[in-house]
Chains A and B, each alone.
Chain A
């Protein structure tokens, strides 16, 4: 158990809809990262938050947004969903320290029909 909790585990929704994915980081970790994994490919970095502030942005679509709350949990909002958004979405957390690994949750599987 990595200590990172993601909900829900599965989400099935229709095109055009909006969903929210939730992540609780490991106790003590201030950084949260969101990654997308499509069709057994590698993990693509979307966005990082550190202690409530956006720290880094990757290949995140404009239809997607995220935030980190004062209790350090994070939410990833996906809107105007398209079929191609179907993927596994992983959250990870870490201490903000050189040479520290990221610890991943078990992901949310999003299916857009």
Chain B
């Protein structure tokens, strides 16, 4: 049973445009959500997070939106740059069940110059 799902395995965007990556979850106990970026031959790198008490968190070009009623979160990258090309993983945690994260399957983002 996949508790965190990223339904788009890949996404292609033109440089300068907006990239929107989506993630859905099923466990209503999740209360902390994160996005990680992964380049080949490297480990996942923490990008941005959001607590369930918020519906938006912004850090530079990156914004994460959380819709708790829909159990959906998204990552917006504006403007997209070729260096953003990577695999993006959504992850979630139930803070009352420990610190481990449950990951989605990832979305490969390709930003074309």
Contacts and interface: CB of A to CB of B under 8 A. Distances in A.
Contact of B105 (A6, A41, A48, A106): A41
Interface size for chain A: under 10, 10 to 19, 20 to 34, or 35 or more residues? Answer: 20 to 34
Contact of B44 (A43, A98, A99): A43
Nearest to B106: A42
A42 B105 contact: yes
A19 interface: no
B63 interface: no
Interface centre among A31, A44, A92, A96 (most CB of B within 10 A): A92
Nearest to B101: A102
Contacts of A94: 99
A45 B101 contact: yes
A36 B99 CA distance: 17
Contacts of B34: 101
B95 A99 contact: yes
Interface string B83-113: 0000101000001011111111110000000
Nearest to A4: B43
B43 A105 contact: yes
Interface of A: 2, 4, 6, 31, 33, 35, 40-45, 48, 55-56, 58, 90, 92, 94, 96, 98-107
26 contacts: A2-B43, A31-B99, A33-B99, A33-B101, A40-B87, A40-B106, A41-B105, A41-B106, A42-B89, A42-B103, A42-B104, A43-B89, A43-B101, A43-B103, A48-B100, A58-B100, A96-B99, A98-B32, A99-B51, A102-B101, A103-B46, A104-B36, A104-B43, A104-B45, A106-B42, A107-B42
